[in-house]
Amino acid sequence: MTSTLLPGNIVYGGPIPVREAQEYRSLGQLIMDRYKSFGNQTVMIDAVSGTEYTGKFLYDSIVRLAQILQKLGIQHNDVVGLSSENSVNFAIAMFAGFAVGATVAPLNVTYSEREVDHAINLSHPKIIFASKITVDRIAKVAKQNKFVKAIIALSGSSTNHPKVYSFTDLMNSDKYKTKPDFTSPAANKTEDVALIVCSSGTTGLPKGVQLTQFNLLATIDSQIQPTMIPFNEITLLTVIPWFHAFGCLTLITTATMGTRLVYLPKFEENLFLSAIEKYRVMMAFMVPPLMVFLAKHPIVDKYDLSSLMVLLCGAAPLSRETEDQIKERIGVPFIRQGYGLSESTLSVLVQTDDYCKPGSVGVLKCGIYAKVVDPDTGKIMGPNERGELCFKGDGIMKGYIGDSKSTQSAIRDGWLHTGDIGYFDDSLEFFIVDRIKELIKYKGFQVPPAEIEALLLTNEKIKDAAVIGKPDEEAGELPMAFVVKQTNSQLTEEDVINFVNERASPAKRLRGGVVFVDEIPKNPSGKILRRILRDMLKKQKSKL
């Protein structure tokens, strides 16, 4: 991976060396063909049950479900929703959606009814797949939205909703006659949207990021870098939720490589460590809170983690101290950080063996251009000069669904403006230093302060509110509120925390606490001056 500095201070990661995936008729066909070619090789392992799944099993299941979806009325470019924790049925449902040329819209399993309602009104899914923990909530919201024609329960369901089908019953039913093979319809790759992933906007509820078939196919090609070990001999562990862009896109890319993917539905200390030991896991997808766990938790010493060769960490910055502690404690030779956004289809920057300076997020991936722009003047900056990071290339999203204003603000002249402040050094390695965006990064989840603020203001005892991220070593940042009470109202910190807990998903809860203030600092146009609130927090800490 060799970057070059082009005239005008544009950095280029070089061309994608292979175009195999991009030349496929569709993403669905690529995934089916790959699974078919893997035959009886194990490609997925459920680390909770220990069940192993072969390429043939996944191929047969995708082919059958694709035909059932067509019989249920799903056509090319229809939308299929998917609300589930990691499971083999999640993968089958998503890949069957791709096979029929549908758009798949994963939904965060922790979404409240209000958030589910918002998300499905962005994408308008005809069918929603839901797991045992989400099906009742999905069914309740679907009742209010006539465009949802059916719900498929991936596991058990206690709901007696008339539109709910059982995944197992559908797959085993004689009612649906299907053929052993299936051809995916040819896609208009640059126009057809494969995925709609929810990305938290800074201005409130999530936006729907549209990733095209071409975005995904080109990203798959860009992932294929020569490795010392063949892909089909690599065992990889993931606990990153597949409904999250990072998890979803890594599931898709590893599916095409024949890697043995060991998955967990959620992080549990003993299960996570025993899976590494039992399956001799070589690589793992990580986020900083998991890295802190490996570095510091006493339980880690009880397991044999010597098989670990590479930890790939994304979603938020990783401290040098944590990295060093892990290398010393477990002896993992390679820890690699990357940087990407939902809007860029996985990572645009990644550390390599040659480019992994402390604190860096690596160099540009092939197929990507970058520039650093002064946010005030628009001037393109040179090496070691800070500005807003902007990217251009095959992975940049089509746009936000139903939101042309936000799309035009994010993508200007083909360049995605990230809202992150950074720079590149003389060897074209990139560093992130700050965010223009106000997003709080809690355990890799993006939490928009404006959404929590709007929620707090619905409480009649609250006159005004502002939310910031309180730094936390394990979680990254914890949402914390500054609240102005209505005159003569009785309100405690616990009241405010409980109010949010009852109305928002777990990542948005006020784990950083509540501080009561007389007024919220704002600029003349009414924008909250979060910088001042952060200073107040620092002063508070220094007094302790």
Cα separation, 145 vs 79, in Å, equals 14
Prediction pTM value: 0.84
Q: Check residue 227 and give its pLDDT.
A: 55
Cα separation, 335 vs 530, in Å, equals 33
Q: Check residue 534 and give its pLDDT.
A: 87
Task: Look at residues 150, 140, 82 and name the one whose alpha carbon lies nearest to residue 114.
Answer: 140
Q: Is there a contact between 466 and 530 (Cβ–Cβ < 8 Å)?
A: yes
What's the CA dihedral at 257, 263, 269, 273 to 10 degrees? -50
Cα separation, 481 vs 478, in Å, equals 10
Q: Is there a contact between 280 and 307 (Cβ–Cβ < 8 Å)?
A: yes
Residue at 21: amino acid letter = A
* DSSP run (H or E) holding 497: helix 493-501
Residue at 302: amino acid letter = K
Cα separation, 391 vs 340, in Å, equals 10
Structural domains of the chain, ranges and CATH numbers in brackets: 25-38+52-215 (3.40.50.980), 441-542 (3.30.300.30)
Q: Check residue 202 and give its pLDDT.
A: 46
E-state strands within 192-233: 193-199, 207-212
Q: Check residue 454 and give its pLDDT.
A: 80
What three-state secondary structure class fits 56?
helix
Cα separation, 399 vs 397, in Å, equals 5
Query: Tell me, what DSSP letter sits at residue 486?
Result: P
Per-residue pLDDT of the chain (544 residues; tens, 9 = 90+): 589 999 999 999 999 888 899 999 999 999 999 999 999 999 999 999 999 999 999 999 999 999 999 999 999 999 999 999 999 999 999 999 999 999 999 999 989 899 899 999 999 999 999 999 999 999 999 999 999 999 999 986 555 667 899 999 999 999 999 999 999 999 999 999 999 998 854 446 789 999 999 999 999 998 866 555 677 789 999 999 999 888 999 899 999 999 999 999 999 999 999 999 999 999 999 887 788 889 888 999 999 999 999 999 887 667 777 888 899 999 999 999 899 989 999 899 999 888 988 888 999 999 999 999 998 789 999 999 999 999 999 999 999 999 999 999 999 999 999 988 899 999 999 998 766 667 788 988 878 787 898 889 889 899 889 999 999 988 889 999 999 998 889 999 999 999 999 999 999 999 999 999 999 987 654 568 888 898 888 887 665 5
- Give the Å distances, CA to CA, from 96 to 49, 69, 89, 219, 393: 23, 8, 10, 20, 28
User: Which residues on adjacent β-strands are paired with residue 264?
Assistant: none
Q: Is there a contact between 238 and 59 (Cβ–Cβ < 8 Å)?
A: no
Cα separation, 192 vs 504, in Å, equals 32
Q: Is there a contact between 516 and 496 (Cβ–Cβ < 8 Å)?
A: no
| Alpha-carbon dihedral sign for residues 385, 386, 387, 391 | positive
Task: Look at residues 518, 524, 504, 493 and name the one whose alpha carbon lies nearest to residue 458.
Answer: 504
* Beta pairing class for 476-485 and 514-516: parallel
Instruction: State the angle between helix axes of 88-99 and 27-38 in degrees (0 to 180), rounded to the nearest 10.
Output: 130
Task: Look at residues 100, 105, 102 and name the one whose alpha carbon lies nearest to residue 120.
Answer: 105
| Alpha-carbon dihedral sign for residues 236, 240, 241, 246 | negative
